[in-house]
Copies of this chain bind each other. A is one copy, B any other.
Amino acid sequence: MTSVTELNPRERLLMGPGPSTVPQRVLRAMSAPTLGHLDPQYIEYMDETCQMLRDVFQTSNPLTFPVSGTGMAGMETVIVNLVEPGDEVIVCINGVFGGRMKDNLERSGATVHVVETAWGETFTEEEIEEALKQFPKAKMLGIVHAETSTGALQELSGISDLVHRAGMLLAVDTVTSLGGHPVRVDDWKIDAVYSGTQKCLSCPPGLSPVSFSPLAIEKMEQRKTKVKSWYLDVSMLKNYYTGSGGRAYHHTAPINMVYGLREALRVVLEEGLEARFERHRQMHHLLRSGLEELGLCYIPKHSLHTLNCVAIPEGIDEAAIRSRLLNDFDIEIGGGLGVFAGKAWRIGLMGHSATPRNVETLLAALRECLGK
């Protein structure tokens, strides 16, 4: 038998691509006594959590809930419920997560049409319009709002009308934007959206908030085949989360994770969405001017406030610097992913991590490591 010592994790400053640093009150909430998943008190907590998710997604969609898995389970929930074998779909790829959507869509048996642009770039309305014309039979267009692998922010407000005029659904990845950048699900007429808890909501990883429009539900109800995933089948999940069909038991919800998310959402709404977006904007600019002073260049033209992707200068051992930041300063930043592996740093300013103290601390440590 193994002898394993007591848990004693270091208190890292989490400034990578997620998770972000979690507020004490969220961690405390997670350690509250576990309730049963059908306990009326828990059902009330869950309803409150779903309502706060609606507030944060800026939607009145009844079908808004946290999927019992991390962010990628949310992506899969959207795809397996909206796509059937043989369906055509369009996916926009400008980084790792668009590519994952494609992989996921193919596994669901869809015929996937890819629209691509360079990593770090975003899509124009003209490019989207062109794709819609080229693949008029597609059922859905999938796009990433905040590409975690490149730090690029995709403008969405103009795209939705084009997609709907073409008779398609709009599915959006907001893993790295929700709670840090505006995600206006109703205004932007997004049909299916997913996110993660461990980024700008500053809750530990473990849940994936999703929301579906009435149009998306209509499409789901017209399915000819069963959803391939039992665990993620929204036709059953909605009974538990919205109370239609009498809170039928589907699976045992991750109770204490929901406690954490509930508290994290309270923190978000106490600050206020607009104030929170403004804080992320300010911290981004503070960090940006500091990084540029150190000679570092941002890769994307349209940078996220929440994730700052900069090119590694010539002659720098990027992994050694990340190790030193972690080991000497207890600060985590991210390396590059995919095409950018070894070529970029990804510095997160998400939720509770996005403070002047953290920005200045990171800049000071980075200056030290770069010998500037």
Q: Point out residues on A near B: beta carbons under 8 Å.
A: 1-2, 4, 7-12, 14, 16, 18-19, 21-22, 27-37, 39, 41-42, 45, 48, 51-52, 55, 68-73, 75-76, 100, 103-104, 106-108, 196, 198, 204-206, 226-231, 249-257, 259-260, 262-263, 265-266, 269, 272, 326, 332, 337
A7 nearest in chain B by CB position = B29
A227 CA to B249 CA, complexed, in Å = 27
Q: Given known contacts A70-B253, A70-B254, A252-B19, is B27 in contact with A12 (CB within 8 Å)?
A: no
Say whether A9 contacts B41, CB under 8 Å: yes
How distant is the Cα of A100 from the Cα of B230 in the complex, in angstroms? 9
User: How often does this chain occur in the complex, in copies?
Assistant: 2
13 contacts between A and B (CB under 8 A): A2-B55, A7-B45, A14-B34, A30-B31, A30-B256, A68-B73, A70-B253, A70-B254, A100-B230, A106-B226, A107-B226, A204-B256, A206-B256
List chain B residues, Cβ under 8 A from A42: 9
Q: Is the CB of A231 within 8 A of B8?
A: no
Partner of A231, one of B11, B72, B269: B72
Known contacts A31-B31, A39-B326, A228-B108; A9/B45 CB under 8 A: yes
Additional A-B contact list (13), CB under 8 Å, known A10-B41, A27-B31 = A2-B55, A14-B35, A14-B36, A16-B36, A27-B256, A34-B204, A71-B251, A72-B252, A76-B231, A104-B230, A205-B255, A206-B257, A256-B260
Chain B nearest CB, measured from A267 CB (Å) = 11
Cα distance A326–B45 in the bound complex, in angstroms: 17
B residues in contact with A11, CB < 8 Å: 33
